[in-house]
Amino acid sequence: MTYSMNTKTDLPVILEPKYREPDAIGFSRWLASMPPWVLPTAAVAMILWPAIAQAQSVYSTEKIMGIMAKWLPLLVTQGFLMNVVISFFTMLIGTIAGVFVGLGRVSDNRMIRAISWLIVQLFRNSPWLVLLFIVMLTLPFEIRIAGTYIPVPDWMKAVFGLSLPVMANIAEIVRGAIQSVPSAQWEAAQSLAFTRRQIMWQIILPQCFKRMIPPWMNWYAIMTMATPLVSLLGVTELVTLSRQAMEAEGNNPSLLMPFFGFALIIFFAYCYPIARLTMRLESKFAVKG
């Protein structure tokens, strides 16, 4: 007796629920979805803002443009450059630590797995600003080594504070990439008498690098956008210098849009190409089903 696979029934059937994995590059996908004309439009708005606000200000458009021209070199070389430096070292430290924590998440040692899980949950679900305050208030201003005092600048404390949530999220990227490798490859390697360490470092991890690049770049863009948080702790970067420049010029309301508009534009101009490249690499390295 045979049964047809297309047999219909009017009986209630419980379908398997559909589960969607969280989007690992959601921020880059959103940023890259913006049309290219957004950047020039924002630039035009920043330029025209002094003319719009001139009726409520004693500053003329020419004077505001002169003020911006005077401060722009400082904002770029000592302001935004510091944001880039902080984001670079944050991702460097967070990536190195995150790789080890991610490997701990898939360790065959139950204690290591538990500790790694706790680290990920603690720093992944903690407010970034709270972590920054804790690190800034906990770490010393200088370290004594062999009788020599080595100062610890505020930006280095900010790097350490921001690297904690980055570490937790990179660890999840590593764990997800490892678990995405088909289990048949583990079984085949074990049948060839490979040790677990050899399987991980010689077979599994080389396949994970391409899968981890797009979400890693997504987190770099997020990290760069988050660096202005350190201005609340007194670290000298773009937003801090913008506030200081406006205070030096009399705190006129007409300066708000040009200075902070410039900050918006330069961050967008830096992160938008990263988002576009992330989308391209995600499509290139996607696992074909």
Residue 6 lies in a domain: no
52, pLDDT greater than 70? no
Structure tokens at 91: 């991702």
**DSSP assignment of 93-131, as one string?**
HHHHHHHHHHHHHT-S-HHHHHHHHHHHHHHHTS-HHHH
Residue 95 lies in a domain: yes
Q: Which of 220, 209, 219, 218 is nearest to 285 (CA)?
A: 209
Residue 188 lies in a domain: yes
- Residue pair 267/239 in contact by the 8 Å Cβ criterion: no
Which residues on neighbouring strands pair with residue 129, listed in sequence order?
none
pTM higher than 0.85 for the full model? no
Average pLDDT, whole number, for the chain? 80
Residue 27 lies in a domain: no
Residue 151 lies in a domain: yes
Q: Give 173-184 pLDDT, tens digit per residue.
A: 999 888 888 888
- The CA distance from 26 to 192, in Å, is 39
**Residue 269: which H helix or E strand, with range?**
helix 256-284
- Residue pair 181/194 in contact by the 8 Å Cβ criterion: no
Residue 93 lies in a domain: yes
Residue 209 lies in a domain: yes
Residue 289 lies in a domain: no
For the chain, how many structural domains are there in total?
1
Q: Give 76-100 pLDDT, tens digit per residue.
A: 988 899 999 999 999 999 999 999 9
CATH of the domain at 188: 1.10.3720.10
What's the pLDDT at 54? 47
What's the pLDDT at 16? 45
Which of 24-38, 146-160, 219-233 shows the lowest per-residue confidence on average (mean pLDDT)?
A: 24-38
Query: What residues make up the domain containing 265?
Result: 65-133+146-282
